[in-house]
Structure 1
Amino acid sequence: MSPTREPANGGRRLVIVESPAKAKTIKGYLGPGYVVEASVGHVRDLPNGAAEVPAKYKGESWARLGVNVNHDFEPLYVVNTDKKEQVKKLKQLLAESDELLLATDEDREGEAIAWHLREVLKPKVPVRRMVFHEITQDAIQDAVRNPRDLNQRLVDAQETRRILDRLYGYEVSPVLWKKVMPRLSAGRVQSVATRLVVERERERMAFRSAEYWDLTGTFATERGAGDAEPGTFGARLNTVDGRRVAQGRDFGADGQLKNPDQVLHLDEENARALAAALAETRFSVRSVESKPYRRSPYAPFRTTTLQQEASRKLGFGAKLTMQVAQKLYENGFITYMRTDSTTLSDTAVNAARVQVTQLYGAEYLPERPRVYAGKVKNAQEAHEAIRPSGDRFRTPAETGLTGEQFRLYELIWKRTVASQMKDATGQSVTVKVGGQAADGRDAEFTATGKIINFHGFLKAYVEGSDDPNAELDDRERRLPQVGEGDPLTADELSVDGHATKPPARYTEATLVKELEEREIGRPSTYASIISTILDRRYVFKKGTALVPSFLSFAVVGLLEKHFGRLVDYDFTAKMEDDLDRIAAGSAASVPWLRRFYFGEDGNADGGADGSVGAPGSAADSGNGDGDHLGGLKELVSDLGAIDAKGVSSFPVGEGITLRVGRYGPYVEGPPPSPDEPGQRADVPDDLPPDELTVELAKELLAKPSGDFELGTDPETGRPIVARDGRYGPYVTEVLPEGTPKTGKNAVKPRTASLLKSMSLDTITLDDALRLLSLPRVVGTDPQTGEEITAQNGRYGPYMKRGTDSRSLETEEQIFTITLDEALAIYAQPKQRGRAAAKPPLKELGTDPQSERPVVVKDGRFGPYVTDGETNATLRRDDDPETITAERGFELLAEKRAKGPAKKATKKKATKKKATAKKATEKTTTAKSTSAKTTAKKTAAKKTTTKKAAAKKTASASKTSASEKDGSGE
């Protein structure tokens, strides 16, 4: 091994990576002449809100975008607020260094981070890029010896994507705020991903189930019991009088047969009649067809296939998979985990082949190494597939890993080793069995079997399936040895009824697969896209299925109707092609962005640079006139045509409408008259849209939700009503018409939540008046003179005396406790510790990472999972009673990945206080002298500031010019 290249003249080199964990690992592979520090991700980005826009730009029309759309889409970058201290530290380290090595990831994002670091730090020493795809000693030292320059094309490509996504999000999201609900977001890929989930739900809602029947026979050979093969086997009815019996695939979504003339649809009556007619039939083998079976290994993992398989086999979400993979990479266990490549280096192939021989024997090793060609269109970056790092693979037992990291490493290791093993081979057999029914009909049954003679790679790894009922590759189905003409007897003929099922909802794994197959977005971003649509409540989970919320129906409906091209699958995929061409240098960024944002006169075939049509353009709409291509800006400029109520309303049936309101979805019954609203009822947030039927809507409307009057308060004369609010049932008084609700003279109605022992079905006016009378004055403490009150709070019933609160044991005590009883409680020492712990709601088993028992508990802020060390609050769609162990482990893993919450630190004011004290002790003469000195310093500071500003402007101009030179225009 050649030595690591040392800095010239015995100096030191500053190596900057993204994460502290990565920095720690790399530091161990470098000598004393190196300082390794983390940038902690991006240090600079477009401003996140108006507060981050520098003062001199606030008046610009484009400032809210953070992109100067009038000047070649020049981005306005600002140092992230939470990174200013880290940037300061990096500058200090750089001032003490003789060379800067930017060692961020070797992809577009990593190249952009490196470029931003160079622009922010403004180094005066040599700057080089240090790149590697695995964190091992050999790889790191080789990267140090062979640095390269920044790849400006990759930087430009990432910058174009960032600008495009900013324009899309910042222009379209406000439309959603105005027309649907505040604080919503739109995104180039997230909106399309949401549309996919919504469209699948629409298919389920439109689906009509069909019923069909068939027969399954258990047939016995007439060979002896000593035969080597089983003497019985099962077969399914295939044809009747030569006509194929209908199966689920023969029905359309409308529940009707696709080709009724070509198949026989058996109902229950006909199926049972046929079974009875076949009861005494003598069957025989009509044909036996045997074919060679061969299955080749799966390619090594790339980002999307790893996410899909980790979901199927380990129950990991895409986000968790990438978090765990990131840790494995940073700690030197696997190669870079964001890759489109299935290629293995010669080093990796040799390592895999050695392990095949060691673990399985030479008979499992093919003569030549296997080579996997990439199938991903426009695959970016020259990375390997995801594999164990190093020139010798550590077995999972050798790593010392535990929990999620062990399980994911094992998956990657198995897949990599299996990819260099021989094919699995065997025989697939089809046996057809026939017989004549008593009524003359001819029935033919079919049985299929598979025998694996040589398991090959299946010894090491078997891929999972998205269909839980699918048969995996290593599953054998052995049939008895039979020949054509052999007689058979039917031991049993069973009649089976089936119903067609709606298309399955997407899971994280199948949504990732769908996005990749449609060539939408980049595989490396899919985990964050899915996380975003879950966090925004466009989608929620039901088990592993992704269910769209009613809110997402409103958002997608608006986008489809008024911004159709922006959520068009082909258009989004073509945008991806254009962005890849910009990265390759075959297209220019600025003309493409100008066309997308402003549009331009042209024809429907696209501009001179070959880019796709602008959103909302004639080219997009397909009207063929091609006179004007409108851009995004024009599209969002006139919102008058968007009916806000219309996009958020969906007919349920029989005059009932589902509406998406500011506080959630609700159903509205038919209005009694055109001028009056219909009866309303809230819809549960976690109700899947395909389950909202007319019958369920009627049930919701029939419930005592909304206002129902309990009576009149005899003291005030105001009506008292009970309501079922979004945060639980409560009672309130109705103020007279014209009562001011805002301003100085505003009057707030008395309101009180129902006690746990109360319900809307049984509450009376007396109960309501008791609740509205709270807090109740118990009496006055004779010693302190303070009033003692009893009331109901967020955490239960309690008493209050000044600032001293004491819990009550029951809600009834609020109304019954006497002054003496209250004083007795206050006479007791206050319990400073926590109350006795509540028993767990559910036990989930042992966490694979912490190896501690995990339970579900009911906490102060709601149910949560804990292993005794880490607590994770359940999400809104997690039910404490039905939550699975895998989901609990996932929540804990996400919480661990975030790390401990940062505590705000207060700056010490000692120096300021000392200075102030000294100042007061100064004489009047000293004050005068100090004032003169201060005035001189202020004048000097202003001069320096002006010079610095002029210098900064000149530097910014140079930077802008250099960016243009590298943009490929």
Structure 2
Amino acid sequence: MQDTIIIIESPNKVEKIAHYTGAKVFATKGHFKELSKLIVKDYTNYEPDFELNEKKKFDINKIISECKGKKVIIATDPDREGYGIGYLFYDIIKNMAKSVERAEFFEITENGIKKGLQNAKPFATTNLKEFESWKARAVGDKLVGWILSPKYINTLNDKNISVGRVQTPALNLIVKRELEIKAFNENSENKKVEYKIKAKLKKDNIEFFAINDNIFATKDEANEQINALKSFTQAKVYQVESKETQQKPKEPFRTSQYQEECAKKFGFSSEVAMNLAQKLFEKGLITYIRTDSNSLSTDFINEVENKFSSQEWHEKREYKAGSQSQAEAHEAIRISHIHDFSEIDKIASEENLSDDMKKAYTLIYTNSLLSQAKNAINQNFTFDIDINALSFKAKSTKTIYKGFKGVFESFTNDDNEDKEENEIQDLELSKDEIIEILGYELSEVKKKAPTHYKESNFISLLEKEKIGRPSTYATFLPKLLEREYIAIQKKGKNNEIVATNKGIEFIKTLSANNDEWITKSEFTAHMEEILDKISNGECSYLDFIKPLHEKMEFVEIKPAEQRPPTPPSQAQLEFAKKLALNAQLELPNDIETNWKICSEFIEMAKKKQPISPPNEKQLNLAKKLADDNKVELPKDLENNWKICSDFISKYIKKSSK
């Protein structure tokens, strides 16, 4: 393949792919073209106005020149985003290259690359509608941002404002939950506490609780009942109910499930989890990381069977992509090489994995293999215990067969945070058995308040609401944090998402200005469905763009010189007025409507401020620095704050060296 050029996105994969293929490999380093500030060339057919990224122009032009007269294989990432990047490159070189093909690498291994090249096809015969779909998403999102964001920057007089077709409905979900929590807490009825009684019991050396279902309105009523029971020292098991249950292993990871598990197990944010997975993919250790599919290839399932079929826990299982998936061709995130658990340390050392990369890899390894393991089988017991004709219930779980739970116990042991207070492991009681009563306690019964979304389960909510795609899940929360719409609060092991006052007011303002549509997940989900239909040839690019633009009243993006100026912030304007008063200057025309005029005036007015003496604290510091450095104070220092300030700056730096 010496006369072949392979085009990919990430420079971190260049060396491996070149080694496996013998081809020349070049990376676009992600998007090399971007929409101009006008976004579209006209508002009839909404043809995008793409331009080369200035920082990448030199490198991209060199790559383009390498493609002349050569066979070119475009192997950008195997998703809609990657196809969009690939198409833009294809469009540039299609008439200068000898031939152009499209390949998809789902794993950066020798076998994975070989498969991708074997299945490569002429780019012109691929689904070009996929580019139309990507184009619709790119142009639509840019129009929303460039039309609505400036509108609300001006409305709220805050430059740290942005509106997004996907981020704003995500924020709306968080704000809605925040308002539900506030409404609950403000309702005095919800603050009432009621009580249940729990008996502390003992069998042999095992102590456990059993709870009575009666609810008492006050603590006094509950204590009165406890006093009536205190004379009883023994309880009788009235009834035992038993039920066998089976628990399946977790299915192979979709992107969202991987991110959630990373958050639960390690506290990694979705962004950190995806960065770790990207590095593992580039090293050839796992398959492609942006996927909405739970399916596994037949080859992988067979490889696991060949290696582990003699293991008692193994059970061959097949998984489908799922109704939410765009394509059966995509697999779940899985390991790319089958090996024993004991080899993870060796692989981590050979591949120079960081501690966090090793954690992420081990998580994907165990999930991949346990997806081919047997169910765990439990026997669940409910004990009805009689104390003076009052029924107290206790629960117990007995493991009959560990199944998948017994394979990697040191790494995959389950948390017990959802365990009920009257549930105990491996408690055995028989009907009519007499057990000892140790005492009684009160259990508070409160109305359950709505809770903040955890970072670990918010991604599955976005997926359920059809907001965004696997490639974008990790970007939502960082953007909302950057805009100060939300805050992340640590609560125990969990990171909880809390809407700030700014976020709440922002959503309210959108609704008050007839832009509530952009906050609705239903609208975003509908638009995502249209993107899929464009890919399938059922809809056109304009079917997406025109209705979206109509929602924004067909406002057009104008060249910079034609746009109305942005007003200064209130703080900036007040500062300008203060400087004008001090220097007895007149404010220029249009200063209240044009931030540039205001900024230029501030710079000019600063230079014309009347000279004032330094304050006592500054003066004392200057004198001390003069003594310490054995130098004289400059002339007029006591009358001029600037001379004093410059002197302090000079000798503070010397003192710190």
Q: TM-score range, shorter-chain basis?
A: 0.7 to 0.9
- Out of 598, 616, 633, the position equivalent to 2:554 is 633
Deviates more, 1:577-586 or 1:137-146: 137-146
Are 1:469 and 2:446 counterparts?
no
Distance 1:444 1:479, change over 3 A: farther
Deviations 1:143-185 (A, max 9, x none): 2233113331211111111111122212211221121123421
In structure 2, C-alpha distance between the alignment counterparts of 1:734 and 1:23, rounded to whole Å: 59
Determine if contact 2:295/2:332 at 8 Å carries over to the other structure.
Answer: yes
Distance 1:480 1:171, change over 3 A: closer
Determine if contact 2:622/2:647 at 8 Å carries over to the other structure.
Answer: no
Secondary structure, in 3 states, of the residue corresponding to 1:291? strand
Q: CA deviation at 1:634?
A: 6.9
Are 1:234 and 2:182 counterparts?
no
1:377 corresponds in structure 2 to 324
Deviates more, 1:442-451 or 1:460-469: 460-469
Deviates more, 1:570-579 or 1:498-507: 498-507
Deviations 1:259-304 (A, max 9, x none): xxxxxx4321111111111111353111100111211111011100
Distance 1:321 1:487, change over 3 A: same
Are 1:14 and 2:5 counterparts?
yes
- Out of 13, 27, 40, the position equivalent to 2:29 is 40
- Name stretches of at least 5 consecutive residues in structure 2 with no aligned partner: 186-190, 559-568, 589-600
AA of the residue aligned to 2:651: R
In structure 2, C-alpha distance between the alignment counterparts of 1:516 and 1:798, rounded to whole Å: 56
In structure 1, C-alpha distance between the alignment counterparts of 2:618 and 2:587, rounded to whole Å: 19
Deviations 1:93-125 (A, max 9, x none): 224x62111111111111111111122345332
1:551 corresponds in structure 2 to 502
1:128 corresponds in structure 2 to 101
Q: CA deviation at 1:28?
A: 1.6
Q: CA deviation at 1:739?
A: 6.4
Are 1:807 and 2:644 counterparts?
no
1:702 corresponds in structure 2 to none
Q: CA deviation at 1:332?
A: 0.3
In structure 1, C-alpha distance between the alignment counterparts of 2:436 and 2:632, rounded to whole Å: 97
Secondary structure, in 3 states, of the residue corresponding to 2:312? helix
**How do 1:321-720 and structure 2 match up within 5 A?**
321-357=273-309, 362-366=311-315, 369-380=316-327, 382-390=329-337, 395-399=343-347, 400=349, 401-436=353-388, 442-460=389-407, 469-471=417-419, 477-478=424-425, 480-500=427-447, 502-543=449-490, 544-561=495-512, 562-598=514-550, 615=551, 632-633=553-554
Query: TM-score, with normalisation over the residues of structure 2?
Result: 0.82
Q: CA deviation at 1:594?
A: 2.1
Are 1:92 and 2:43 counterparts?
no
In structure 2, C-alpha distance between the alignment counterparts of 1:323 and 1:406, rounded to whole Å: 13
Deviations 1:49-78 (A, max 9, x none): 4xxxxxxxxxxxxxx3x1145231100000
- Name stretches of at least 5 consecutive residues in structure 1 with no aligned partner: 1-5, 50-63, 240-244, 246-264, 437-441, 599-614, 616-630, 638-660, 665-724, 726-731, 753-766, 809-829, 836-969
In structure 1, C-alpha distance between the alignment counterparts of 2:640 and 2:381, rounded to whole Å: 73
Distance 1:512 1:231, change over 3 A: closer
Are 1:266 and 2:217 counterparts?
yes
Q: CA deviation at 1:787?
A: 5.0
In structure 2, C-alpha distance between the alignment counterparts of 1:318 and 1:745, rounded to whole Å: 47
- Out of 206, 211, 223, the position equivalent to 2:193 is 211
Deviates more, 1:768-777 or 1:171-180: 768-777
Distance 1:590 1:319, change over 3 A: same
Secondary structure, in 3 states, of the residue corresponding to 2:120? coil
Are 1:103 and 2:75 counterparts?
yes
Determine if contact 1:343/1:372 at 8 Å carries over to the other structure.
Answer: yes
Determine if contact 1:339/1:381 at 8 Å carries over to the other structure.
Answer: no
In structure 2, C-alpha distance between the alignment counterparts of 1:280 and 1:514, rounded to whole Å: 52
In structure 2, C-alpha distance between the alignment counterparts of 1:431 and 1:273, rounded to whole Å: 25
Are 1:192 and 2:172 counterparts?
no
Distance 1:734 1:168, change over 3 A: closer
Q: CA deviation at 1:535?
A: 1.8
- Out of 111, 122, 145, the position equivalent to 1:149 is 122
Determine if contact 1:288/1:484 at 8 Å carries over to the other structure.
Answer: yes
Query: TM-score, with normalisation over the residues of structure 1?
Result: 0.57
Determine if contact 1:220/1:491 at 8 Å carries over to the other structure.
Answer: yes
Distance 1:735 1:78, change over 3 A: closer
In structure 1, C-alpha distance between the alignment counterparts of 2:381 and 2:148, rounded to whole Å: 57
Secondary structure, in 3 states, of the residue corresponding to 1:386? coil
Q: CA deviation at 1:558?
A: 1.6
Distance 1:785 1:313, change over 3 A: closer
AA of the residue aligned to 2:554: K
Determine if contact 2:242/2:379 at 8 Å carries over to the other structure.
Answer: yes
Q: CA RMSD in A?
A: 3.9
2:592 corresponds in structure 1 to none
Are 1:29 and 2:11 counterparts?
no
AA of the residue aligned to 1:805: K
In structure 2, C-alpha distance between the alignment counterparts of 1:466 and 1:198, rounded to whole Å: 32
Q: CA deviation at 1:501?
A: 5.4
Determine if contact 1:233/1:479 at 8 Å carries over to the other structure.
Answer: no
**How do 1:930-969 and structure 2 match up within 5 A?**
none
Distance 1:549 1:69, change over 3 A: farther
In structure 2, C-alpha distance between the alignment counterparts of 1:782 and 1:421, rounded to whole Å: 79
Distance 1:120 1:482, change over 3 A: same
- Out of 225, 238, 245, the position equivalent to 1:286 is 238
In structure 2, C-alpha distance between the alignment counterparts of 1:793 and 1:383, rounded to whole Å: 68
Deviations 1:679-698 (A, max 9, x none): xxxxxxxxxxxxxxxxxxxx
- Out of 242, 266, 271, the position equivalent to 1:314 is 266
Secondary structure, in 3 states, of the residue corresponding to 1:46? strand
Are 1:220 and 2:202 counterparts?
yes
Determine if contact 1:135/1:335 at 8 Å carries over to the other structure.
Answer: yes
Determine if contact 1:355/1:417 at 8 Å carries over to the other structure.
Answer: no
In structure 2, C-alpha distance between the alignment counterparts of 1:748 and 1:237, rounded to whole Å: 80
Determine if contact 1:751/1:772 at 8 Å carries over to the other structure.
Answer: no
In structure 2, C-alpha distance between the alignment counterparts of 1:20 and 1:41, rounded to whole Å: 9
In structure 1, C-alpha distance between the alignment counterparts of 2:404 and 2:640, rounded to whole Å: 66
AA of the residue aligned to 2:434: P
Distance 1:735 1:127, change over 3 A: closer
In structure 2, C-alpha distance between the alignment counterparts of 1:351 and 1:476, rounded to whole Å: 40
Determine if contact 1:774/1:790 at 8 Å carries over to the other structure.
Answer: no
Secondary structure, in 3 states, of the residue corresponding to 2:161? coil
AA of the residue aligned to 1:309: E
2:153 corresponds in structure 1 to 177
Higher helix share: 2
1:201 corresponds in structure 2 to 178
Secondary structure, in 3 states, of the residue corresponding to 1:187? coil
Secondary structure, in 3 states, of the residue corresponding to 1:591? helix
In structure 2, C-alpha distance between the alignment counterparts of 1:129 and 1:733, rounded to whole Å: 62
Distance 1:371 1:790, change over 3 A: farther
In structure 2, C-alpha distance between the alignment counterparts of 1:444 and 1:750, rounded to whole Å: 85
1:760 corresponds in structure 2 to none
Secondary structure, in 3 states, of the residue corresponding to 1:407? helix
Flag the structure with larger Rg: 1
1:439 corresponds in structure 2 to none
In structure 1, C-alpha distance between the alignment counterparts of 2:571 and 2:239, rounded to whole Å: 66
In structure 2, C-alpha distance between the alignment counterparts of 1:594 and 1:164, rounded to whole Å: 9
Determine if contact 1:791/1:799 at 8 Å carries over to the other structure.
Answer: no
Q: CA deviation at 1:576?
A: 1.4
